[in-house]
Amino acid sequence: MRTPGKIHFRNENIYAVCMIVTLFCIGQSFHNRALSAKLHTASSTVSSQCLTTAPPSSNAPLKDASSISSSQPVQSSQAQPKKKEPEKKAESKPQKATEQIQTSRYYDVPLSTEIQDTIFTECKIKNVPEDLVIALIGVESHYNPKCISKTNDYGLMQINICHKESLERNLQVTDLLDSKQNIKAGVYMLSWIVNKYSNVNQALMVYNSGESGAQKLWKQGIYSTSYSRKVIAQMDKIKIET
């Protein structure tokens, strides 16, 4: 059987141990709170320092990328060899003929130098005497590009409307009242006549009356007409400016 004095002593010891444990827990709690507050303050300070002192890392890669992309085309263009310029093509016959004619003298007739240049060029290409064409135009239309006869002959060289379809098909001549187109068509038609008939009177008779009409006259012993003689007289009359 225990004595009351020993029980009382044991109760006091238990009470003292409980108080010590309680004080220790309270002290440990205050210590943890203080340590947590210090850590929070330190972390916020470090974060603010990082924000104020660190370079803007998000912008740096973008600038580098843009500078690289912009420099690459320049490098590639510098690396590519220069392309050689295409060689100039040889000039066509009409251009050469025009260059040769530019130094020619002009006829003293009411035709512009531009129209005479066209005549010189076409005659050069088709191998037709240019003075023959100038004289023929004087007799046919009196140098009037808008002349239309009662028999439907058009322009400077008085080309009949019946030839329009074939001329459009072969020469792309669409307007017989256009001086340049008219000359192109007239010299073309005259070229085969001159190359076939060396006699000027006969060639002019064919141009004026057609080949069948001229042959009928030749059978009658007629080898010149008032028309052919008039053109030849005009050839002697026209002068070249010196």
Closest by Cα among 137, 142, 138, 176 to 157: 137
Q: How many CB atoms lie within 10 A of CB 171?
A: 13
Q: Residue 186: its pLDDT value, please? A: 97
CA distance 119 to 113: 10
| Core vs surface per residue 5-20: b (16+ CB within 10 A) or e | eeeeeeeeeeeeeeee
Q: What is the DSSP string of 126-152?
A: HT--HHHHHHHHHHHHTT-TT-B-TT-
107 three-state secondary structure: strand
Closest by Cα among 129, 117, 124 to 92: 124
Domain 93-237 grouped into CATH 1.10.530.10: yes
CB 210 within 8 A of CB 193: no
Domain boundaries, given as residue ranges, for the chain: 1-46, 93-237
Pairing of strands 159-160, 153-154: antiparallel
Q: Residue 19: its pLDDT value, please? A: 74
- Name the helix (H) or strand (E) containing 159: strand 159-160
Q: Residue 55: its pLDDT value, please? A: 42
Alpha-carbon torsion angle 36, 37, 41, 46, nearest 10: 0
Q: Is the pTM of this model over 0.75?
A: no
Q: Residue 102: its pLDDT value, please? A: 45
Sequence length of the chain is 242
Which residues, in sequence order, are CB contacts of 116 under 8 Å at separation 6+?
Answer: 106, 107, 134
Count CA within 13 A, CB hemisphere, residue 115.
21
CB 233 within 8 A of CB 139: no
CA distance 122 to 42: 101
Give, for all 242 residues of the chain, the pLDDT tens digit. 444 554 454 556 676 666 776 776 676 666 566 555 554 554 444 344 433 444 444 443 333 333 333 334 434 444 455 555 555 544 444 444 434 444 458 999 999 999 999 999 999 999 999 999 999 999 999 999 999 999 999 999 999 999 999 999 999 999 999 999 999 999 999 999 999 998 999 999 999 999 999 999 999 999 999 999 999 999 999 977 53
Sign of CA dihedral 167, 155, 215, 189: negative
